[in-house]
Amino acid sequence: MTVSRRLTELGITLPAATVPLGSYVPARRAGGLLHLSGHLAKRGGEVVVGRVGAEIDVETARELARQVALDLVATAAEAAGGVDRLAGVVKLLGLVRSAPGFDRQPAVLNGASDQLVEIFGEEGRHARTAMGVSELPMGAALEIEAVFALS
């Protein structure tokens, strides 16, 4: 089954691809891999600000991570020349702006991981690192970068 067909079955419409906020590109191809820059958690086009474990609870952060995963797929699809050129997900790096003592970063990143498996099936299973950090650009609650395999 194609990725575009799976998105239709899931009722998912991808958002517009993310535009870089600085002096970098959103995606860079290296052989059969597509490396994506970090994508910040957004709601309604605005960066979601706060610390997970203080102003933002785990379930809300998990939903934000699901949305970031869709943003990543949209950026990857644009860079690859279409969503059906994406063969799967290789790796995620998730940075969670965490309150002191918060240690549930993997639970937050499960939102993105689960979303990608729903879209890509077994090819959506990936290696992953989940880290807690004290600050992120613009005070964002979450930033995720990804590596996709190309077909």
**pLDDT tens per residue, range 15-32:** 998 888 789 999 999 999
**Cβ atoms within 10 Å, residue 113:** 22
CA distances from 85 to 42, 78, 89, 120 (A): 26, 10, 12, 12
Structure-token pair, residue 84: 């059906």
On whether the CB atoms of residues 87 and 5 are closer than 8 A, the answer is no
On whether the CB atoms of residues 92 and 128 are closer than 8 A, the answer is yes
In a domain, 21, yes or no: no
Q: What percent of the chain is modeled with pLDDT above 70?
A: 100
Structure-token pair, residue 105: 């970063």
Structural domain for 52, as ranges: 3-16+26-150
In a domain, 113, yes or no: yes
DSSP 134: S
Q: Is the pLDDT of residue 50 over 90?
A: yes
Q: Which of 145, 147, 149, 136 is nearest to 39 (CA)?
A: 145
Q: Which of 97, 89, 104, 91 is nearest to 143 (CA)?
A: 97
Q: Is the pLDDT of residue 41 over 90?
A: yes
CA distances from 115 to 32, 90, 125 (A): 22, 14, 10
β-pair type (127-133, 86-97): parallel
The CATH number given to whatever domain includes residue 96 is 3.30.1330.40
Give the pLDDT of residue 110: 98
Give, for 71, the enclosing helix (H) or strand (E). Answer: helix 58-80
| Count of domains for the chain | 1
Q: Is the pLDDT of residue 89 over 80?
A: yes
In whole angstroms, what is the distance from residue 97 CA to residue 126 CA?
22
